[in-house]
Amino acid sequence: MNDLAALLTPEGRALLDEVRDTDPARELAVATRLRRDHPAELVSAALGQARLRQRAAAKFGAEDAGRMFFTPNGVEQSTRASVAAYRARRMTELGVTSVADLCCGIGGDAIALARAGIRVLAVDRDPATVAAARANAGALGLTDLIEVREADVTEVDTGGYDAVFVDPARRGGRGRIFDPEAYSPPLSWAVEAARTASRAAALKVAPGIPHEAVPADAEAEWISDGGDVKEAVLWFGTEPGAVRATLLPGPRTLASRGLPDPEVRTPGRYLYEPDGAVIRAHLVAEVAERVAGGLLDATIAYVTADELVPTPYATAYEITDRMPFNVKRLKALLRDRQVGTLTVKKRGSAVEPEELRRKVRPQGPNSATVFLTRVAGAPTMLIGHPARG
């Protein structure tokens, strides 16, 4: 049975509505009851789709996810709606009115582009994925702006479109793919496709892409959402060589100014933990300059400063104690402070947070944060709490 085709029938849609809020713990009982009146394959397909929609709510929001259709890989690999919407806004600001969305997946980016008023050709070679993308365009009322095509993206003529967006597959049979040339299609092909776009292009890549792999004629942007790094984007038709970190919601964007590495200095009263996108974009120096700070260690992205300077690009902590790494001393300090809620952050330390929590067994009504790091090369613990100000 073609699961998606069956779910698009009146019977399938009615069954989807019926199982919408099914608790996973009750699936077996629900399936047993529904199979008395519906084909077993259709019931399984409906329950599977309901499960995917529940998972997708975190990316697409409950309202959209409750109407859309997903494949397991589609849920895993699709762009978070907030990130796709931000990228679509950048496209409109560049004057883009039409986009060839290559490797469109289940259509998350095409949906965001269409909602920004952009005409989209959405292309993928996987039949199940294409079927989901087409169903999603229909479910969200966007068929006038989204054309979905099953094809090999390397054979698609994008000449009639202002811009190209490419989201190469970065997962294989063994999990994540880290070599950009092992993407499907390879990054080198995507770059050449981007360079043919008449107005602009964007290539979605893994946030761990080496800076040396970024083409000289591209802008590199790292994007985080709610503090979690989601992706890097290579933009063409913008500012060649530019590097930026964008934080959502907002957006708030920090651009590189080519600053030298900050100096290493003794720990001050405050520690700043830069956002992950800032770190990936190598913009820790820009944060240090904003807060008049320096580094705890030349190889670690923690900034220290004497004053509290609010910045959206880093989380500030007030440091109350500093000591060499010593579990017994930490345990005694936490006991004296009656700390029962302990947040453990680490950078430059091999100690696992859960292992440390087990050893110190925090108890009490108070909370604290401990940073396991290095100060000028020496293993160090810094204890404090989120800064108030």
pLDDT tens sequence across 297-336: 999 999 999 999 999 999 999 999 999 999 999 999 999 9
Q: Which two tokens stand for residue 170?
A: 């970065």
Q: Are 157 and 183 in contact (CB under 8 A)?
A: no
pLDDT attached to residue 1: 43
Please provide the DSSP assignment of 221-254 as one string: EEEEETTEEEEEEEEESS-TT-EEEEEETTTEEE
Give the rounded distance of the alpha carbon of 17 from its chain centre. Answer: 30
Question: Residue 108, Cβ neighbours under 10 Å: how many?
Answer: 28
* pTM for this model (two decimals): 0.91
Q: Which two tokens stand for residue 335?
A: 């006991």
Beta pairing partners, 254: 245
Q: Are 176 and 231 in contact (CB under 8 A)?
A: no
Question: Residue 58, Cβ neighbours under 10 Å: how many?
Answer: 12
Q: Which helix (H) or strand (E) holds 304?
A: strand 303-305
Ordered by start, the domain boundaries in the chain are: 3-67, 75-254, 270-386
Q: Give the span between the Cα atoms of 245 and 260, in whole angstroms.
A: 17
Q: Are 226 and 338 in contact (CB under 8 A)?
A: no
pLDDT attached to residue 86: 98
- In tens, the pLDDT along 81-127 reads 999 999 999 999 999 999 999 999 999 999 999 999 999 999 999 99
Q: Which of 372, 368, 369, 370 is nearest to 347 (CA)?
A: 372
Which CATH number is 75-254's, of 3.10.129.10, 3.50.50.60, 3.40.50.720, 3.40.50.150?
3.40.50.150
pLDDT attached to residue 170: 76
pLDDT per residue of the chain (389 residues) written in tens, 0 to 9: 467 899 999 999 999 999 998 888 899 999 999 999 999 999 999 999 999 999 999 999 999 999 999 999 899 889 999 999 999 999 999 999 999 999 999 999 999 999 999 999 999 999 999 999 999 999 999 999 999 999 999 999 999 999 999 999 777 666 677 788 878 888 999 999 999 998 999 999 999 999 999 999 999 999 999 999 999 999 999 999 999 999 999 899 999 999 999 999 999 999 999 999 999 999 999 999 999 999 999 999 999 999 999 999 999 999 999 999 999 999 999 999 999 999 999 999 999 999 999 999 999 999 999 999 999 899 999 999 999 87
